[in-house]
Amino acid sequence: MIRAIELTKTQFKAKEKAITNLLRPLAQFTSPTYQKNGLETVNGKVLLLEPKQPLFIEKIASLNIAFKDLDKSIIKVEDL
């Protein structure tokens, strides 16, 4: 299981930008973005993963994102 939300690519970009804007001022946030790309799903959407760091979870709480437990089988896997 993974904690995430499934979004369209447009929704993903908007949510990711909002999350990055909230996390950027934190000294613990050392990445240019929260998630550069989501994980593509078998449904043609992308997953936005819930952060694991308690401080990050607390900081983004104002966005009221309802992360869910999703089965990993939803992630699109392509043969190499």
22-31 pLDDT per residue, tens:
999 999 999 9
pTM of the model: 0.88
pLDDT band for position 77 (cuts 50, 70, 90) = confident
Work out the burial of residue 20: count CB atoms within 10 Å of its CB; fewer than 13 is exposed, 13-18 middle, 19 or more buried. middle
The residues near 19 (Cβ < 8 Å, ≥ 6 apart) are 34, 48, 60, 63
Query: In this structure, what DSSP letter does residue 33 have?
Result: S
Q: Could you give the CA distance from residue 27 to residue 53 in angstroms, rounded to a whole number?
A: 13
Banded pLDDT at 4 (limits 50, 70, 90):
very high
What amino acid occupies position 53? Q
